[in-house]
Amino acid sequence: MDSADVRDDLDHVLYTEAQIMARLREIGAQIDADYAGRELLLVGVLNGAVMVMSDLARAMRSHMQMDWMAVSSYGAATKSSGVVRILKDLSCDIRGRDVLIVEDIVDTGLTLNYLLDNLRGREPASVEIMAMFRKPDALRVDVPVKYLGFDIPPEFVVGYGLDYAQRYRNLRDVATLAPHVYN
Ligand code: PRP
């Protein structure tokens, strides 16, 4: 889906597909250099991270493996607790592995804060975070993002895996949503 296909639903494009891909090539090269000689396990957080996982993995030139987790907050009222429910756990044992969590967005940081803690408990050799987008103004906990695509303003953004009511994940660009869509 292109921005033109849903022009009336969007306010403005923040990052185009080309800008996202260019940034991912830089991050992929940095990861290749940082983990030279080690085979990284990329852990994607469903559903939003599907697009960035796919493109980041292909931007890398070294061997890698991938696995997935699905998590969900315990409802709006308790989201502030930072406790998330694991809907789908990893298929592999990460003990002794170099792990890189791959996320589409860090908003409050609560999801990644929990995941980082959870995965560290499984005794990997290392665990780091790659996030395509981050909203610095929305952060409630400090999350150590090693590889970041872009910081964005605290607006309602969709595309490149980010949804509104499960839609717009397949939008190639990342754009702010027009208020009439969510009002
Ligand atoms: C989004 C995103 C992160 C999380 C970030 O997932 O993919 O996992 O929210 O928010 P936080 O920093 O405030 O914890 P969401 O729960 O919307 O599910 P999705 O990936 O299926 O869209």
Q: What is the pLDDT of residue 120?
A: 98
Q: What is the pLDDT of residue 84?
A: 87
In 7-49, alpha helices (H): 17-34
- pTM passes above 0.85: yes
Task: Answer yes or no: 151 catalytic.
Answer: no
107, 117, 142, 151: the active-site residue: 107
**Is the CB of residue 48 below 6 angstroms from any atom belonging to ligand 1?**
yes
Tokens encoding 182:
């969510």
Cα distances from 22 to residues 27, 28, 153, in angstroms, run 9, 10, 20
**Is the CB of residue 111 below 6 angstroms from any atom belonging to ligand 1?**
yes
User: In this predicted model, what pLDDT tens digit does every residue of 77-116 receive, in sequence order?
Assistant: 555 667 789 999 999 999 999 999 999 999 999 999 999 9
Residues 6 or more apart whose CB falls under 8 angstroms from that of 9 comprise 168, 177, 178, 181
Percent of the chain's residues with pLDDT above 70: 96
Nearest CA to ligand 1 atom 16: 72
